[in-house]
Structure 1
């Protein structure tokens, strides 16, 4: 870290990338680092000397190092963190190792990373000069904006979620709509910041997570982080593109008042949580190889999310009744500790044996090769919790989405996918709402999306169009004369950060 490169260019620039401690944040930050690294490799007499360092805790740094190929110029810096000091498990350096009940304690504990982070920034600036350093931090690390200002370095915030969902979610956090009491789940209110955006009460509850939101310390924490960034940061970097989210980008610019840089889609490989995954990956690909094009449903609620046990049963029954082939990455139901092993009793009796014997389904316990599955020609749709990384991977590979958002921004990612014509919602909500209908509704939606009707054909057609738009946004012609919108945004970001 901090080495000088002896070649011509536009001056030095050192980006300190600081993701929140969660896989859904670490991955896009790593993909951003890879994109920045490739930008620096293009060369040319006007090319900036760019150094990229990812900052995290020791376990996270070790995992990220394994995901970076030999010879990469991406650097890493470790900050000390002792989870047991905060009543957390010893390996709880990212949310995937934190029991759901301990999430608030984990979030609050990350604020104690401030002193060692400020020491790191002071060390780097002392060596390289304040004008050559820019902090690019996660939205959940709002205090970094204060630190950067105090230390005299540039700061930008990186949104790992989409523009539309971020704008709506932040507005709900900062200025909650005034729902009357009592309120039915489908009652709607307009947002104070965006009068043309209306949210249902059940959607509102899945964003604020608790009905006592006015006095909830977790919501206060989230509001404080967003406000600190909006007050002290120099710009918003977002993992999206102008072509995918023109309306969302308009809303987030209006809400934040900050310069905005749409640099996505930033997609790439995922790192498994366990080294023993090769068998599952081989089984998934063999299954896909045996099926017709666009015929298989991939089901996953992400690395951190899951659904209640009763709804897991209904989902399984609906998948089996549809007769459509599927791959399902399962995690323990929400009522159980998310860090324990999956048990067969959470699925209908004999379910796994029946679908395996009929070559109708593959049930993967834990990690699944999501990128490889979505890239396969036999994958026809993705039943997803609509986390933004999963949304972008679907769009990148032209795969329609069956939405089952669970909480937070996922609710509005699902809404956006429906507006784009590439998504249809089967259920919504984990804490509130959920699968309001039974297994037959799951069956009917799956049949509609994977069938041969006009709805399915329209979704596939629109998904193919968005795939081309997503790839064009990050493309550069060989001669460098024609660049996608996201490449140009990345260049504007660097010019603003380092002059």
Structure 2
């Protein structure tokens, strides 16, 4: 508290209102608050955070003007475009008002990279802006290479070239290039280019990763962007995380895990946005059942596309299957993921390969099965399976035999044991980088100095 008063510098943070973006932004806020900065948060009404979970911060809601039809994650690029158009005036007015208030001076604006409009406003108000990119560095290198990828003929992606390697971005294949389902693919390209240009115009770039995990990608992004880069992760291991979960976690799964053998349970969660077809859901369910391994499955409302189970309910397993897995399966609508991954009974994680989930799995030494669906997830999965070699990618479809085989490879066969050993080494590096003298510790000190020197 004394440090905070002595510093007298405020940071204004503007998170993107999706779960995978809110979590790291609030973790970053907690970290910077612990370094003596005061924190103010500007946020949209859509997926608004609960101020009661962050009592050290001040909150400033702005109208986002989203219509009911726009406030959906079915087309995330459409949602990003709508938010970036409709938040311009409310954000500028809010930030101008904060700057004119006679309080602590604002040292920096920190925004999610997917708020590109904020750079022009920051410039107009003569306020330096730093960007948080919530993916890892490796996938961002690919995102930044979109103009090159178009020039070389990789974009737009053609189905008959999916297995081709991208020679300019090893180890990626064409199918690993970030892509998002949207009405107009050109919008994705334009948004990627605009985002990267506005990042280059900022005063720095923060990543929730650590140097030892992504050394070559870090060198590439420094060269490409020419601004200071601060890999200060893993965020969630620095400070006890406060809750920024949009869905309430069901903690009954921890009691269930307490009754399972060490390293025996496969944790299955596909994040907060991914939706799968009914046929895929059934193949996954039968594959899990036939593997004969215990599993904890997050079946959140909306996971199964077109589900008739109601917006607040989880999708039920068929009766025959539910009977078959009784006692060795536990199903919840949402889980306290950090607690689950840290639990001794958890021996594997079947994930959508979002970056937060991937990094959390690395930090707890839990090997992965990867089912990437969109955006950076494909690149993350490629690094997990082919570079770090700490997971299995499901590349031959979601048939129940493929699922069963992958689960057994990870959970009971020698291949899974070798992955467990490799990811244990990464876990140790993730711990060491945060200690005094470690890479992330140094970058955080540099970031704090950088924001005080302007």
TM-score (norm 1): 0.81
Q: Cα 1:179–1:490, aligned 2, differ >3 Å: closer, same or farther?
A: closer
The 5-angstrom pairing of residues 28-177 of structure 1 reads 28-40=24-36, 50-58=37-45, 60-61=47-48, 63-68=49-54, 72-84=55-67, 87-88=69-70, 92=71, 98=72, 100-101=74-75, 104-105=78-79, 107-127=81-101, 132-172=106-146, 175-176=149-150, 177=152
Which stretch has the larger CA shift, 239-248 or 116-125?
116-125
Q: Cα 1:281–1:6, aligned 2, differ >3 Å: closer, same or farther?
A: closer
Flag structure 2 segments of 5+ consecutive residues without an equivalent.
none
The answer to whether structure 1 residue 444 and structure 2 residue 378 are counterparts is: no
Which stretch has the larger CA shift, 129-138 or 288-297?
129-138
RMSD over aligned Cα, in angstroms? Answer: 2.9
Q: Cα 1:134–1:343, aligned 2, differ >3 Å: closer, same or farther?
A: closer
Q: Is the 8 A contact 2:165 2:172 kept in 1?
A: yes
Residue 201 of structure 1: aligned partner: 174
**Offset at residue 307 of structure 1 (A):** 2.1
**Offset at residue 341 of structure 1 (A):** 4.4
Q: Is the 8 A contact 1:189 1:200 kept in 2?
A: yes
Which stretch has the larger CA shift, 396-405 or 110-119?
110-119
Residue 328 of structure 2: aligned partner: 360
1:484 to 413, 435, 438: 438
The 5-angstrom pairing of residues 323-362 of structure 1 reads 323-331=292-300, 332-333=302-303, 335-336=305-306, 340-342=311-313, 344=315, 347-356=317-326, 359-362=327-330
SS of match in other structure, 2:160: coil
Distance 1:259 1:102 in 2: 29
Distance 1:185 1:394 in 2: 31
Residue 365 of structure 2: aligned partner: 398
SS of match in other structure, 1:229: helix
SS of match in other structure, 2:334: coil
Distance 2:81 2:182 in 1: 17
Residue 338 of structure 2: aligned partner: 371
The answer to whether structure 1 residue 320 and structure 2 residue 266 are counterparts is: no
2:380 to 399, 409, 413: 413
Q: Is the 8 A contact 2:26 2:244 kept in 1?
A: no
Which stretch has the larger CA shift, 116-125 or 14-23?
116-125
Distance 1:468 1:318 in 2: 33
Which stretch has the larger CA shift, 144-153 or 465-474?
465-474
The one-character-per-residue Cα deviations of 1:70-100 (angstroms, maximum 9, x if unpaired) are xx4322221123333x744xxx4xxxxx251
SS of match in other structure, 1:448: helix
The answer to whether structure 1 residue 242 and structure 2 residue 211 are counterparts is: yes
Residue 495 of structure 1: aligned partner: 449
Residue 25 of structure 1: aligned partner: 21
Q: Is the 8 A contact 2:47 2:246 kept in 1?
A: no
Q: Cα 1:340–1:14, aligned 2, differ >3 Å: closer, same or farther?
A: same
SS of match in other structure, 1:252: helix
**Offset at residue 159 of structure 1 (A):** 0.6
Q: Cα 1:351–1:341, aligned 2, differ >3 Å: closer, same or farther?
A: farther
Q: Is the 8 A contact 1:272 1:367 kept in 2?
A: no
The 5-angstrom pairing of residues 228-239 of structure 1 reads 228-230=198-200, 232-239=201-208
SS of match in other structure, 2:311: coil
Residue 432 of structure 1: aligned partner: none
Q: Is the 8 A contact 1:385 1:406 kept in 2?
A: yes
Flag structure 1 segments of 5+ consecutive residues without an equivalent.
41-49, 93-97, 428-434, 476-481
Q: Is the 8 A contact 1:18 1:136 kept in 2?
A: yes
SS of match in other structure, 2:175: helix
Distance 1:129 1:233 in 2: 25
Q: Cα 1:39–1:102, aligned 2, differ >3 Å: closer, same or farther?
A: closer
Distance 1:60 1:199 in 2: 33
SS of match in other structure, 1:367: coil
Q: Is the 8 A contact 1:19 1:26 kept in 2?
A: yes
Q: Is the 8 A contact 1:396 1:467 kept in 2?
A: yes
Residue 382 of structure 1: aligned partner: 349
Q: Is the 8 A contact 1:327 1:361 kept in 2?
A: yes
Residue 258 of structure 2: aligned partner: 289
Distance 1:285 1:443 in 2: 24
The total of aligned residue pairs comes to: 444
**Offset at residue 344 of structure 1 (A):** 4.6
Q: Is the 8 A contact 2:80 2:114 kept in 1?
A: no
